[in-house]
Chain A
Amino acid sequence: MFAYLKKFGILGNNARISDFILPHNKRSAYPFVDNKILTHELAVKNNISSPNLYFTVGSYGELKKLHTRFKDLKSAVIKPARGSQGNGILVINDIQWDEDPSKTKFLTSRKNTTSYADIEYHVSSILSGLYSLNGEMDQVLIQEKLDSIEELKLLSFQGLPDIRVILFYGIPVMAMTRLPTKLSQGRGNLHQGAVGLGLKIKDGTVTGAIQNNKNIKTHPDLNTSLFNLKVPQWLAVLNLSSKCSDLVNIRYLGVDIVIDPKKGPILLEMNARPGLSIQLANKAGLLPRLETVNNFLKSKTNAANKSIDPYDLTLKEKIDFGTTHF
């Protein structure tokens, strides 16, 4: 009954956990990807471009100063440090700041104008742990609002399209772009109804398109064809993703990247337990690709006649391997 899954080499949830996440991802490294503040610090220290962090809120006491800290900002994104799947993220497109908090107006992507009280409530909700992975107290990031290049924006209904790259030992093995839709309410979550486009590692062209696990040809809201895309700055995207994976001791990793029109590829976040729907978007399974990487590493080890650390591979080697094989 599972013959077709085997034929495609689909990586199932059980194998994902027991063969890849548990043996290859060090639990102690998780905080660096689960906590966006730590990810940001790590990125800044290693010259990886990531969104500007305006300020953080770590306690209820800091809420008093919250209003004044928005004074010089034109736009911002409010994020829980340990949120998952884009929950609790609030995008502010415009801020009309006033000395009086009750007169300050925020223009958010979901409602048109939002009062300062609503913003403060949202920040305190994040602090209370409403959006954090296990309901514990959380911290809040107020970050720069990123933009995306036209090519991807044309295929998105509001929101911010991003690119997810899955890396195994720093070698990019599979990628897709996630396009927000009306159904996903501007979010990039596949299981909330965003569109996933599988991308060839070789050149960033489209291999397949899905929404809610079903194949589609055109964007459900915009009716534009999804298969003409060729993601620009593709090598830069792959390079950034591979560099990110060097930062943390997580060898089976998902990296989310936004291509900003001015700044180029920017690290959005990393994920130690990347989802499996990417296979459906690519019409290909992960297993044979992961196996190819494994064999490559083994042959390297044998050739060197010693156990080599895969991290000894150069960035170019990793990217070349990915683009030639996948």
Chain B
Amino acid sequence: MIQIKKLKNILILICIFLPLALLVYKNQRLNMPVIPREALDFWQIEIKANHKNLSKAISALPREIVVPVPTSTNTQTIASIDFMPERNISLLQEKSGGPVLYLTPDQITKNEQTLITAQVQLFELVTNPENLKPEPIDEFEKNKYREVVNYNPATLDLVKKLAASLVFESDTELSALQKFFFYVSDEVVLSPDIDGIDDVLSLASGSLLGQARLMTALARVHNIPARIAFGIQILEPEPNRKSKYIRVFYTEAYINNRWIPINPHYKLFGQTQKDMIVIHRDSEAYTDIFNDRSMLSIMIEPLKFTSFSSDKFIKQLKAQSPLWSYFSLHRFSLSVQAIFLGILLIPFGTVILSFSRVFLGINTFGIFTPILLTLFFLETSFVFAFTLFFVVLILGFAQRFLLDRFHILAVPRLSILLTLTVIVYTLYVIFADSLGVLSVNNQTVNYFPIVIISILIERFSVYYIEEGARNTIKTALGTIFVASLCYALLSVYWLKALIFNNPELLLLSIGLNLLIGSYKGYRLSEYFRFSGLKDNN
């Protein structure tokens, strides 16, 4: 008996820790992403230039009006790009800082807006400056990026003094640059709207733009080519939703044929930033336009992963680990992947189910009906499936009052009930479609609900006979409750992606169920069930 108990505990430990250990191993040793963000990291970015507000600004800013066009870099690939009104991308002016779209006064008056839509894929981060791609530029351009004539002489003087106080003669370009970086990142506090170098120096605080300006100026007075780059930092990557972001200015300094990104606030030197889309890399002249939401509005949205990214991911995986790539579900087409996404979730639904039964004492129709119901919720929509469930319950009650009097045998009676349900289901879909409640397509409408409803009706009728109306309703509510709980958990996107990409986590479900199954204590429902005992004390 003790041996058996030991065996069970060992099994529980294995089932819980093996998948977690594998996860860590894959992530740390094989360098495989737990959730393949890199491959899935496709973003749609929309850059919209508002012509009306731009032309208002024209009078104040007597210079060219530009819209930045994102381009492929060390850290990102532009998969596609579209312009509204249409432009030919090959005609754009290409510079080392990336292409820009010039707007002539004529174009500005002709159209209300210019819209650039690009699909961007973000890569893994570059953590070592050595791994940055060399981007050779000629001496003329280098000198352009060393230019300090635009600075006000007094400011320039301050910057020069500061630079001199920070750097020794023995310092290389790189070590000098690092010292400037440490100075800005340690001494300058982030504070919005402080954009000018003078203010940053006197207040020891500055915006991202102010910090980038100071950092750039320090590099230039030390004769290192430097420029200000502009990007979009995605704050909360959320699937299927417009994401939050902030506009980021940072410095790029040119050393050893490479543009080295420097971002003092994020404490990044020579490293690229996570979740950042680079919009333009030579933005000094346009900072006021880029920084102004009324002139340039930007929206980003994650793209659902495409077969293209899956293919790419598989290739990437194969390079990292042939064994694990063999088991990756990314090998399948998207429709098959979608099915697996559902199947792999079922075991985790059972964990909730076990929990509700063993710890809470909630009764449900049949054992796996709530799980099926959850999948129904996930497949269609919560409201749709929820209402259908109650319609079926009402049908179930109604048939007992009607068909019972006709003396119809059980199986034919259930068959009639199922037919009625199909009729109701059909009508329901028609109404839902005409009212626009449900987008009817072959994903929302399929055989699945009918299978679930058939099982539900059978369970229901047995329950009704055995337990009576009151308990049947109680159990129906319990079923709905557990299904809703499962639904809430299984709609968490990262959880789905996690299980899909690491199917070995299924062992966890066995471990957790073994654990739950070993609980011998009281159920929450028993607290209420036996509360009559307290009366006498």
* CB neighbors of B among A37-55 (8 A): none
Nearest 8 A-B pairs (CB), nearest first? A12-B522, A128-B410, A15-B520, A121-B407, A130-B410, A2-B522, A14-B520, A215-B532
Is B530 positioned at the interface, with any CB of A under 8 Å from its CB?
yes
Alpha-carbon distance A109/B527, docked complex (angstroms): 37
Interface residues on B, range: 20 to 34
Q: In whole angstroms, how far apart are the Cα atoms of A117 and B530 in the complex?
A: 44
Residues from chain B with a CB closer than 8 A to the CB of A215 are 532, 535-536
* B526 part of interface (Cβ distance < 8 Å): yes
> Which residues of chain A are within 8 angstroms of B523 by Cβ–Cβ distance?
12-14
Bound together, the chains give a CA A18 to CA B522 distance in angstroms of 12
Check B407–A131 contact: CB distance below 8 A: no
Q: Which of A2, A14, A130, A279 contacts B358 (CB 8 A)?
A: A14
Could you give 20 example pairs across A and B, Cβ below 8 Å?
A2-B527, A5-B530, A5-B533, A8-B533, A10-B522, A10-B530, A10-B533, A12-B520, A13-B523, A14-B520, A14-B521, A14-B523, A118-B407, A128-B411, A131-B465, A192-B468, A213-B531, A214-B532, A277-B529, A283-B536
Q: Please judge, given known A-B contacts A2-B521, A12-B523, whether A280 and B530 are in contact too, CB under 8 Å.
A: yes
Residues of A close to B520: CB separation below 8 A: 12, 14-15, 18-19
- Give the residues from 388 to 441 in chain B that come closer than 8 angstroms, CB to CB, to chain A: 407, 409-411
Q: A125 interface residue, CB < 8 Å from B?
A: yes
Closest chain B CB from A199 CB (angstroms)? 17
Interface residues on A, range: 35 or more
Residue of B409, B467, B518, B526 near A124 (CB, 8 A) is B409
Which B residues from 510 to 531 make CB contacts under 8 A with A?
A: 517-523, 526-527, 529-531
Q: Does A84 sit at the interface, judged by CB under 8 A?
A: yes
Instruction: Kindly state the separation between the CA atoms of A210 and B536 in the bound complex, as whole angstroms.
Output: 13
Max chain B CB contacts within 10 Å: which of A15, A130, A210? A130
**Chain B residue with minimal CB distance to A86?**
B466
A125 x B361 contact (CB < 8 A) = no
A323 contact set on B, CB distance < 8 A: none
| A12 touching B526, Cβ below 8 Å | yes
Q: B131 in the interface, Cβ–Cβ < 8 Å?
A: no
Task: List A contacts of B467 (CB < 8 A).
Answer: 191
- For chain B residues 483-497, which have a beta carbon within 8 Å of chain A? none
Interface membership of chain A positions 238-280, coded 1 if the CB is closer than 8 angstroms to chain B and 0 otherwise: 0000000000000000000000000000000000000011011
CB-based contact B409/A5 at 8 Å: no
List 12 other contacts, CB 8 Å, given A130-B410, A213-B532.
A5-B530, A8-B530, A10-B533, A18-B520, A118-B407, A125-B410, A128-B409, A131-B466, A135-B458, A210-B532, A279-B530, A283-B533
Measured CB to CB, the residues of A under 8 A from B are 1-2, 4-5, 8, 10, 12-15, 18-19, 84-85, 87-88, 117-118, 121, 124-125, 128-131, 135, 191-192, 210, 213-215, 276-277, 279-280, 283
User: Contact between B534 and A4 (Cβ–Cβ < 8 Å)?
Assistant: yes
A1, B529: Cα distance in complex, Å: 13
- Asked if A5 and B536 sit within 8 Å, CB to CB, the answer is no
B410, A129: Cβ atoms under 8 Å? yes
Q: Is the CB of B411 within 8 A of A4?
A: no
The 8 Å CB contact of A5, one of B411, B465, B518, B522, is: B522
**Shortest Cβ distance from residue A102 to the other chain B in the assembled complex, whole angstroms:** 14
B521 contacts which chain A residues (CB < 8 A)? 2, 12, 14-15
Contacts of B519 in A (CB 8 A): 14
By a CB distance below 8 angstroms, the chain A residues around B533 are: 4-5, 8, 10, 280, 283
- Does B306 interact with chain A (Cβ within 8 Å)? no
Q: Is the CB of A135 within 8 A of B462?
A: yes
Q: B109 contacts the other chain (Cβ, under 8 Å)?
A: no
The verdict on B471 contacting chain A, using a C-beta distance below 8 Å, is yes
Q: Are B529 and A213 in contact (CB under 8 A)?
A: yes
Q: Which residues of B contact A214 (CB under 8 A)?
A: 532
Expressed in whole angstroms, the minimum distance between the Cβ of A218 and any Cβ of chain B is 16
Name B520's closest neighbour in chain A (CB-CB): A15
Q: Report the bound CA distance from A288 to B517 in whole Å.
A: 23
